[in-house]
Amino acid sequence: MLLAMSSAGPPRSTDADKHSGQRILCVAFDVMLAETRKLLLQHAGYDVVLVMGSSAARQVAASQHFDAVLVGHDAPYRERADLLTWIKANMAGVPIIALQSSASETLSLADYAANVYDTDEWLNTLRKALE
């Protein structure tokens, strides 16, 4: 457990403590972005399983429990839509956050959408999805 020290009193929990134990399936389609996203999620206190592509996501999700799924933006629409359909059918109740590169891009099966270029936005969206 991480603690932040305050000169005003006893240690207090950090935001990372709040997310401790919450498992995120991070589905990426770009290797460079994947590692950065994983590090950001870990820094925020999440337990992250990173997979590359839809096939790997299905294989891992079929055998493990996750509290949320974060789906990257850098794949053809149809591939992402098919993955979301599979997640909805096989991971009932698990929130899906789809990262998108523009406001006009929508994946109606995602529970939440967030701007891929605004890290604070998608981390806040994930936090809200898990409340």
Task: Give the percent of the chain with pLDDT over 90.
Answer: 66
Whole-number Cα distances in Å, 72 to 52, 55, 65, 130: 10, 14, 19, 18
Which sequence spans correspond to the domains of the chain? Answer: 18-129
Q: Which CATH architecture has domain 18-129?
A: 3-Layer(aba) Sandwich (3.40)
Report the distance separating Cα 82 and Cα 7, nearest Å.
52
Placement of tokens 């936090």 in the chain:
127
When pLDDT is averaged across residues 21-37 and rounded to a whole number, the result is 93
Kindly tell me if the per-residue pLDDT of 3 is higher than 70. no
Helix (H) or strand (E) holding 102: none
What average pLDDT does the segment 67-83 reach?
A: 91
- The average confidence (pLDDT) of the chain is 84
Each residue of 99-118: pLDDT tens digit? 998 765 677 889 999 988 99
- pLDDT value, residue 57: 97
pLDDT at position 76, please? Answer: 84
